[in-house]
A = this chain, B = another copy of it.
Amino acid sequence: MSELLFPRGFRAVTAAASIKKVGRDDLALLVMPDGATAAALFTTNLFCAAPVQLSRQHLKDSRGHASALLLNSGCANAATGSLGASNAIDCVELIANALGVSALSVLVNSTGVIGTQLPMDRIAPLLAPLAKSACEADDAGSLEAYARAIMTTDTRPKMSTRVLQIGDIRIRLSGVAKGAGMIHPNMATMISVVTTDAQLSASELDMLLRDAADKSFHRISVDGDTSTNDSLFAFASGKAGRVDPELLRTALIEVCQELARMIVTDGEGFTRSMSVRVEGARTKEEATTVAKTVAQSLLVRCAVTGGDPNWGRIVAAAGRAGVRFDPSELRLYVGGIEIFAQGQPVVCDAQAVRAAFNGEHVAMILHLGATTGEVGDTNADEFLTSGLTEEYVRLNADYTT
């Protein structure tokens, strides 16, 4: 099987700077030799990391233009004060100088432990050679090597690609992501980079990206904690030529959804996934609130881990979401089986219910009864998450130690 590469107009290289562990690539540089339009969504956390603040500013000042993106794993460079800020600036300037481009066109981000400083003595000497090797590279560079270099507690690299043939034009889209922990919808989620060789203006790219994030990264939760470094970047090199941006919408959504699913199914301590779909709400916002509340309930998530058909916890979580609905109108389906309706348990096959809680994926649908039509219910919303496991607790009880 041939290696997955970035689309035309991109060069990706990686290196090992021993930031947290020795011997694995933990620096990833993406270079757009002829530039690219750029868009990004960043974390809403007040403690957004130094590189997030810098990249946000650069993206604004350059009006959505970029020549390079530097990422590292092992250290988030968050809650690191003025030293952290100047370290991020130093990284950008070293890359900009080596590439001979404006610092404004270089973006950065970091992922890993919060509150520690970047080991600049080990990182700085690598940056100019890294930029040089990117310029001299024979091919666009391996998606997998890039995805591996940004991993923290991820157990596997996360990639997704699409190829579209539109008339004579062949457009490629690729995406990589890292996830695993501190995953919660609040703008974007952790670090994802989407690239395409389509020609798009910065505002077209921004619009497509926001829509795709809403339908993917904003609809997953691993643990309810929003990171200090969440960033979703998108770059369009234009090398493949110009097509109607609307033709790319579906492919971009698919790439983002695939990455989002990969993030959930490689979440810390993952054993099985669960989805919560809410229908029949009065408003989309209310559907989102109920779906999110059930998806975040520790007790529901523990029951899913145990394959325990303790569905009372699902309706109890819906009932505390702060959304007004008539409890006697609520219907709960798990794995397609109607379990609860008219305020009481539905007589159903206990063995089938148990099997529905024991599958690879536990699919819950809650119908709030405020609207009747399920087909084309535009107020419906869905969240994807996973069971909460002992392994998650074990991993997070000694993350820095």
Contact = CB atoms under 8 A, between A and B. Distances in A.
A136 interface: no
Copies of the polypeptide in the assembly: 2
A257 interface: no
Given A47-B319, A76-B312, A316-B228, A393 B396 contact: no
A401 B306 contact: yes
A116 B344 CA distance: 9
Given A316-B182, A400-B310, A81 B342 contact: yes
Q: Most chain-B CB neighbours within 10 Å: which of A44, A45, A228, A393?
A: A393
A364 to B, nearest CB: 14
A50 to B, nearest CB: 9
Given A45-B319, A46-B327, A316-B182, A306 B398 contact: yes
Interface residues of A, number: 69
A401 to B, nearest CB: 5
A303 interface: yes
B315 A79 contact: yes
Given A46-B327, A327-B47, A393-B305, A78 B316 contact: yes
Interface string A389-401: 1101110111111
A232 interface: no
B46 A308 contact: no
A63 interface: no
B79 A44 contact: no
5 contacts: A46-B318, A115-B345, A302-B393, A305-B393, A308-B399
Interface of A: 44-48, 76, 78-84, 113-116, 181-182, 184, 186, 223-228, 296-299, 302-303, 305-306, 308-313, 315-320, 324-325, 327-328, 340, 342-345, 387-390, 392-394, 396-401
> What 8 A-B pairs come out closest when comparing CB atoms?
A114-B312, A81-B344, A306-B397, A302-B396, A47-B319, A115-B312, A46-B319, A390-B390
